[in-house]
Structure 1
Amino acid sequence: MNQRVIKPLVLILIIAMFGFFGYSLVTKGKHTDVGDKAFNFELPNYDGGTTKLTDYKGKVVILNYFASWCKPCKDEFPELAAYQKDYGGKYPLLMINRGETIDRIKKVTNDNKEGMVYLFDYNAKVSKQYNVTGQPETFVIDKQGIIREHYNGPVTEMQIYNWIKKYDK
């Protein structure tokens, strides 16, 4: 390529980068992170009602962001189902989906035979508050409502159990 083409391309690239960074700064909202008070939310649930984080006040709560089309999410599902069976009654696991319909999740979960608590973050408002960038992502919220863990990637039943032991005080 000659210099007549390269210079304008570099200039366009630089302008685009500054535009992207400027847009990111302007649209950056407040979000929570490890050590912060968990954002209280109310989301539609699998049964057609709504569920609030405050419904689980005083308990260690696990939030897991997932998508039905996500391969790592599918791979981790048996671990989450085992966790739900063994510990879900005492330490709630809230499965949060972004952008998919209840009917879609009912279809892929075989009508929720595991008894999971599925919530639907259709507009991604809650996931933005928790700074979710993909899936699967898992959060541990302690009894005082403080985010103690934020893990990107698939988790195992034992990982979650070890977190619970650590924060169930």
Structure 2
Amino acid sequence: MNQRVIKLLVLILIVGMFGFFGYSLVSKGKHTDIGDKAYNFELPKIDGSNTKLSDYKGKVVILNYFASWCAPCKEELPELEAFQKDYGDQYPFLMINRGETIDKINKVTDHNKAGMNYLFDYNAKVSKLYNVTGQPETFVIDKQGTIREHFNGPVTEMQLYNWAKKYDK
């Protein structure tokens, strides 16, 4: 009787393990993270045209996910604008908004007086591929198209510059 119980428990354990691994494989979505090749996307810009990540091939690119209602995003905005002004020509800096309209961002940025590169991920499809869970989140992509940094929370101009310089090889 004791062996029968042990065999049954082992069988349940094995079936449970296969079930867990099977579920893990099926539920694992396509996404990228540090060390992976960055997913090439195409998103609308604030001026109505589209841009692709591949447009910046061979450059260190920084992506920053934000929302207009996000308090930490508002706090970091002057730092991001300073980076764009000082280093934006050398290191493309793309601000990606999830779910808000161009009109909304134009309104809160006073028609983009700072000249930021705003992109719009309306259905959050790209943010899901990049495992974005909130805002602000920042990614640094090296010249070979590999994600090198993924930072949750507000960043400073110097953090961005140091990351960009580190991967500008």
> Which TM class, normalised by the smaller chain length?
0.7 to 0.9
Matched, 1:133 2:138: no
Residue in 2 aligned with 1:163? 163
Work out whether 1:37 is the aligned partner of 2:37: yes
Q: Which residue of 2 aligns with 1:14?
A: none
Paired residue type of 2:52 = K
Structure 1 runs of 4+ aligned residues shifted over 2 Å read: 22-28
Aligned to 1:96: 96
Give the Cα–Cα distance (whole angstroms) in 2 for the partners of residues 129 and 160 of structure 1: 22
- Report the Cα distance in structure 1 between the residues aligned to 2:164 and 2:117, rounded to whole angstroms: 18
1:52 deviates by 0.2
Q: 1:86 to 1:24 in 2, by over 3 A?
A: same
Query: Shift of residue 41 of structure 1?
Result: 0.1
Listed as ranges, the gaps of 5+ residues in structure 2 are 1-21
Which residue does the alignment assign to 2:148?
A: 148
What's the secondary structure of 1:148's corresponding residue?
Answer: strand
Which residue is equivalent to 2:116?
Answer: 116
Identity in percent:
82
Give, in angstroms, the shift of residue 69 of structure 1. 0.1
**TM-score normalized by structure 1?**
0.84
How far has the Cα of 1:28 moved from its partner? 3.6
What is the distance in 2 between the residues matched to 1:24 and 1:150?
A: 23
Structure 2 counterparts to residues 34-73 of structure 1, below 5 A: 34-73=34-73
- Give 1:90 deviation, angstroms: 1.1
User: What displacement does 1:74 show?
Assistant: 0.1
TM-score by length of 2: 0.84
Query: Alpha-carbon deviations, 1:22-80, whole Å to 9, x = none?
Result: 99875441110100000000001100011100010000000000000000000000000
Q: 1:118 to 1:24 in 2, by over 3 A?
A: farther
Distance 1:23 1:37 in 2: 25
2:128 and 2:161 mapped to 1: Cα distance? Answer: 26
User: Using the alignment, how far apart are the partners of 2:55 and 2:113 within structure 1?
Assistant: 22
Q: Distance in 1 between matches of 2:56 and 2:65?
A: 18
Deviates more, 1:22-31 or 1:98-107: 22-31
The aligned counterpart of 2:85 is 85
- What per-residue deviation string (whole Å, max 9, x for no partner) do you get for residues 108-158 of structure 1? 011111111100001111000000000000000000000000000000000
| Aligned positions, number | 148
SS of corresponding position for 1:62: strand
